[in-house]
Amino acid sequence: MNTLNHYFDFYPFCPEVAIGLGIPREPIRLVMQDEEIRCIGTKNKNLDVTAQLQNIGDDQVKWQSTISGYILKKNSPSCGMERVKVYSGSMPDRNGTGIYAKKLMDNFPNLPVEEEGRLNDSILRENFIQRVFFYERWQSLTLKKYSLNDIQRFHAQHKYIYMSHDQLALKQLGAILAKPCTNISLLAETYLSQAMTLLKSKTTKSNHTHTLQHIQSYLKKHMDQDDRQELCQTIEQYKNGYVPLIVPITLLRHHFRKYPNDYITDSFYLCPHPSELMLLNNV
């Protein structure tokens, strides 16, 4: 809240309160009954709020369709994204998903979703925020009338972000846009689904290095030998784990300010989210 609220509007929502459980309330938990997961009171076994949590999930679709990301509550039987305890007898298995959270993700499979506890991991945190900004840009694109050319430009703007995640998936994503288009809405839906799946995969130092070297090639006609050597060494230092990603990216930004390139200027890789968030400092 102290950092992200400068860039996002937060909308708090508790499905347990929304269905009338109140504050304070009897704890609930996921229980396997007749091969079906139910959400049951821990004391009152007759308290079954499974249907209410599913219904309240469907009731929120209107406002959920306007947001660009969702942060869920770790271990919650209503709002847990993964590894929620499911009781079968006395011993629980950590293989469940909160009832409300599952409904949310079923209704919006492409929406960036993460758990608050996992955001302490610098890689997962950067991945989630990157997806939120990506999704918001896609929402802005599709709110107005758009064409195949608009999606192709969007793809070009994010090409190097895709490359840093999965180079093979990038080629498969590009192939979607190379086919003749007879239904722009279906193409957009397919493109977004594959793009969001691609972006969920973690970036690697190897993929980032490959991406940085690709971008560096746009400067080869402009840089002198010393600058070229410095940039190559900095990228190599990142690859070997001596400096974070922000170091070669800052150096590339510096050179592109001196030697602007329209394609790189239009691309989001060197600035996928506000620098003030410092998300690349620990990646």
Residue pair 241/271 in contact (Cβ under 8 Å)? The answer is no
Residue 201 sits at the vertex; the CA angle it makes with 78 and 271, to the nearest 5 degrees, is 105
pLDDT attached to residue 250? 96
pLDDT reported for residue 165: 97
Helix, coil or strand: residue 91? strand
**37: β partners:** 32
Domain residue spans in the chain?
4-119, 122-283
Report pLDDT for 253: 97
Alpha helices in the chain (DSSP H): 15-18, 50-59, 61-64, 99-107, 122-143, 148-165, 167-178, 184-200, 205-216, 225-239, 246-258, 262-266
Predicted confidence at residue 34, as pLDDT, reads 87
Structure confidence at residue 160 (pLDDT): 98
In this prediction, residue 214 carries a pLDDT of 96
Tens of pLDDT along the chain (283 residues) come to 778 888 999 999 999 999 999 899 999 999 999 889 999 999 998 999 999 999 999 999 999 999 999 999 999 999 999 999 999 977 899 999 999 999 999 999 999 999 999 999 999 999 999 999 999 999 999 999 999 999 999 999 999 999 999 999 999 999 999 988 889 999 999 999 999 999 999 999 999 999 999 999 999 999 999 999 999 999 999 999 999 999 999 999 999 999 999 999 999 999 999 988 889 988 8
Does pTM surpass 0.85?
yes
Q: In angstroms, rounded to a whole number, what is the distance separating the alpha carbons of residues 134 and 154?
A: 10
